[in-house]
Every structure is written in structure tokens, then in C-alpha cells.
Amino acid sequence: MIDFHCHLDLYPDPKRVVAECVARTIYVLSVTTTPSAWRGSSTLVDGAPRIRLALGLHPQLAMERKSELSLFEKLLPEAKYVGEIGLDGSDAYKGQWQHQVDVFERILHLCAREGGRVMSIHSRRAAREVLVRLKASPQSGVAILHWFTGTRNELETAIAAGCWFSVGPAMLSSERGRELVLRMPRERVITESDGPFAQYQRRSCVPWDMADAEAIIAKIWDVDRTSVEHQLRENMKRLVAVAA
């Protein structure tokens, strides 16, 4: 199983979740929401062979943690993956829009300067605005739009721009989400939990829920589980190769 967008450090008992991922041989990309969380998260996943860490500054924290951009810049050379970053246009955060834009554009610039990164990107109610910035920063790396909730048109734009997509049980539980997944190129889809934020079966989604995600994707693609596992594994290998 593969969980390419999970906040391992934010579960109530992170060590237990990490141990479970190790025991179940799950590949995890653990994203961070602030640069100051990087060191602690590194310690948390230290020695876990299939867990990788992404350096992030979440758009919902962009205003509050803008001062951590200098730390982001300092840590970026040692980070092969970047996330969670992006823009959030929902009502609760659009008042902080300019701060979000400043932070996101600055991070894209830094990624480009470092030769590009594999980036896990938040685009809630801001798909168009995220895509405009990615287009303006083509050297920033490979963009994975996590839990994409844009329109069909925005999806087409994202596909044409070369974006990848990480999809999870929460998204796959809705008809609209499944419709979008059906239209995503199979060679650019990867699974994600977005735990502990995303809810699944009335609890926080966990990396081992990716088994259910695979089963739903198998139905959408009209193939068997083994084919889905194979495709996702091949996709992950290509991302890992880019990040190396």
C-alpha cells in the first residue's frame, strides 16, 4: 500500500501509527504543515525504511507562520519532497489570501532554484489559482494535486499541465470524487489518506485504509486489485526517481 499524503506527526499517537505502517510495509509520504515541524517529524520516522518526509507550510497557516519561510529555505536542500503547500480559497481562509499567495509563490521559487521538487499541493476552492502559479513556475518540479475538488474544466487544465493526483477514501466515497478520478490519467494517480484530518468511516483516515482506496479505484478503472497495486507501485517508482 502507498499513502502519499499523510500527516503522521499529527495523530494523537504518532509512534503507534508509524509502527503500524512499518509492520504493514506501507509506503508513506509524511507531509508537514510548518517548517518548524520538520526536525521532530524526521526523528519520528527515523529508521522507518518506507517512510519519507515532505517539508511544508500549509496555506491555512501561511499568515501565522510566514516568518518560518527563512527556515523553509534553510531546510529545503535536505528535503526531497515538499508539502503540504498550496492555496485555500474557502471562506475561513480567503481573508488571508495575499499571505497565502506570497508564501506559495515564494516556495515555488525556492523549489525551482533548488532544481525542482516533488510537491504535494492543497488547492481547495483555489484550483485555478494554484494552476496559474504552477504554470508561471515550470521549474518548481512535479506537482501532485492532493484531494482535488475542482471542476471538470480545471481537472483538464491540470492534466494538460502535467499534474499528478493523490486520491483517498474520503474523496472516493463521493460520486463527484469518483467522476474526477475516472478522468485522471492512470499513470499519474497515487493514493493518500490525508489523515488524521480526513475522515473515513467516522474516524480519522489511516494509511492502512489505502486497501479500501485500492478496491474503489479497481472498480472505477474496471480492473482487478492486482492491476491497481501494480499501477500505483509503478507510479510511485517514477515519483521516487524524480525526487532522487
Q: Which amino acid is at 240?
A: V
Q: Which amino acid is at 186?
A: R
| Contact between 194 and Mn ion per CB under 5 A | yes
* Site size toward Mn ion, by CB under 5 A: 2
CB of 34 to Mn ion, least distance (A): 13
Grid coordinates given for 208 = 492502512
CB of 163 to Mn ion, least distance (A): 17
| Contact between 9 and Mn ion per CB under 5 A | no
**Would you say 125 or 186 has its CB closer to Mn ion?**
125
* Backbone phi and psi for residue 124, each to the nearest 5 degrees, phi listed first: -60, 125
CB under 5 A: which stretch of 59-67, 77-85, 105-113, 204-212 binds Mn ion?
A: 77-85
**Would you say 31 or 231 has its CB closer to Mn ion?**
31
User: Which stretch of DSSP H or E encloses residue 17?
Assistant: helix 14-23
CB of 41 to Mn ion, least distance (A): 14
Query: What is the rounded CA–CA span in Å between residue 223 and residue 30?
Result: 29
**Would you say 88 or 231 has its CB closer to Mn ion?**
88
Query: What is the rounded CA–CA span in Å between residue 232 and residue 79?
Result: 23
CB of 30 to Mn ion, least distance (A): 11
Q: Residue 59: how many CA atoms within 13 Å on its side-chain side?
A: 27
Cis peptide before 20 (omega within 30 of 0): no
| Contact between 88 and Mn ion per CB under 5 A | no
What is the arrangement of strands in the sheet containing 2-6, beginning at the earlier edge strand? Answer: 2-6, 27-31, 51-55, 81-86, 117-122, 141-146, 164-167, 189-191
CB of 227 to Mn ion, least distance (A): 28
**Would you say 192 or 231 has its CB closer to Mn ion?**
192
Question: Do 167 and 147 meet the contact criterion of CB atoms below 8 Å apart?
Answer: yes
CB under 5 A: which stretch of 84-92, 98-106, 170-178, 208-216 binds Mn ion?
A: 84-92
CB under 5 A: which stretch of 82-90, 100-108, 131-139, 232-240 binds Mn ion?
A: 82-90
CB of 97 to Mn ion, least distance (A): 19
Binding site for Mn ion (CB under 5 A): 84, 194
